[in-house]
Amino acid sequence: MHILITGAAGFIGQLLAKELLSDPTYHVTLTDINEPPIPAGVRHPENAKAIKADLLSGAKDIVDSTLDAVYAFHGIMSSGSEANFDLGMTVNIDATRNLLEALRHTCPGVRVIYSSSQAVYGQPLPEIVTDSVIPTPESSYGAEKLVCETLVNEYTRRKFINGFTLRFPTISVRPGAPTAAASSFLSGMIREPLDGKSCVIPIEDRGFKSWLCSPKTLVENLLVTLRLPADSLPPHIRQINVPGICVTVQDMMNALEAVGGADKLSLLTEKEDPSLIPILKSWPTQFDNSQAISLGFKRDESFEQTVRDYKQSLTQ
């Protein structure tokens, strides 16, 4: 299969590329506005091609008729889109529409797996969000994702593409540096202390709940989506809420202590950031994932296991 990954220099693009390039059956084109690296240690680097391009102007030059599937991961994250409205609208909406148009004309019917987010939801929300809850985003990022979800539905209904929209939970533990996401601390509060560094938790409520998924489980679910029969969802409703688990800040501290030792807790500081609180509190904290599970999606065992896997990945 020939697979295109947009936003391939980013966290999830690299994670997926690493998995695909360890299997000889995939040829992967990685594209990003920053030169996308071929992930280190893959078994088949010869099956990768990297293209540095701005999707806003260059979508047509990236897409070719041999594509079997496209993972659309490019984007500006939540605090980034809130801080720069024009940049968020341009990259998150205009570049995505350009990509869909290029695909429609160059490889009609191609499978497109679009990365949306739980941030499409806003208050008021029921305790448990089901697929019938209407998304009412309270951030530019969430609004932009919702616009693209509608595009994916419409392009699929018209048979221009075979689209699937995955609403990701917050992915934690994310390696590397802090990001321009309001949820950045949800990885930082584990990653930084395990590396002997401090991290500020921007909310002073240890009962604050988040809906998380580990990188490992996300990749499994991305691969499940590659094989889903096209008719497993109605042609005009292509969204799937990807399974997550509900954890509080206290649960996360407990997992850090259990895996990293009690001394790591002293590297955490709790200090309310008034600019982030409204965004954080607008997000859902629990979902009914029965649809996704019935389609074959996986769910994490526990957050402690996620932290163990992350710690182990540091030694590989």
Ligand X SMILES: NC(=O)c1ccc[n+]([C@@H]2O[C@H](COP(=O)([O-])OP(=O)(O)OC[C@H]3O[C@@H](n4cnc5c(N)ncnc54)[C@H](O)[C@@H]3O)[C@@H](O)[C@H]2O)c1
Q: Which residues are catalytic?
A: 141
Helix (H) or strand (E) holding 220: helix 215-227
247 sits near ligand X (criterion: CB under 6 A): no
Kindly identify the residues of this chain, within the stretch 68-127, that bind ligand X according to CB under 6 A.
73-75, 77, 91, 95, 115, 117
Give the interface segment with ligand X, choosing from 61-69, 100-108, 156-164, 165-173 (CB under 6 A): 165-173
The site map against ligand X for 170-209 (x = CB under 6 A) is xx--------------------------------------
55 sits near ligand X (criterion: CB under 6 A): yes
1 in Cβ contact with 25 (< 8 Å)? yes
> Residue from 168, 208, 287, 310 that binds ligand X (CB under 6 A)?
168
Does residue 59 sit in helix, strand or coil?
helix
Helix (H) or strand (E) holding 163: strand 162-168
Minimum CB distance to ligand X smaller for 54 or for 101: 54
Residue 52, φ and ψ in degrees, nearest 5: -90, 120
How many other CB atoms sit within 10 Å of the CB of residue 114? 26
Q: State in angstroms the smallest separation of the CB of 266 from ligand X.
A: 27
**Distance between the two ends of the chain, CA-based, in angstroms?**
28
236 in Cβ contact with 312 (< 8 Å)? no
Q: State in angstroms the smallest separation of the CB of 261 from ligand X.
A: 26
d(CA 316, CA 307): 15
Give the interface segment with ligand X, choosing from 6-14, 189-197, 272-280, 304-312 (CB under 6 A): 6-14
Rg (CA), the chain: 19
> Residue from 10, 122, 135, 193 that binds ligand X (CB under 6 A)?
10
51 sits near ligand X (criterion: CB under 6 A): no
Footprint of ligand X on this chain (CB under 6 A)? Answer: 7, 9-13, 32-34, 54-56, 73-75, 77, 91, 95, 115, 117, 168, 170-171
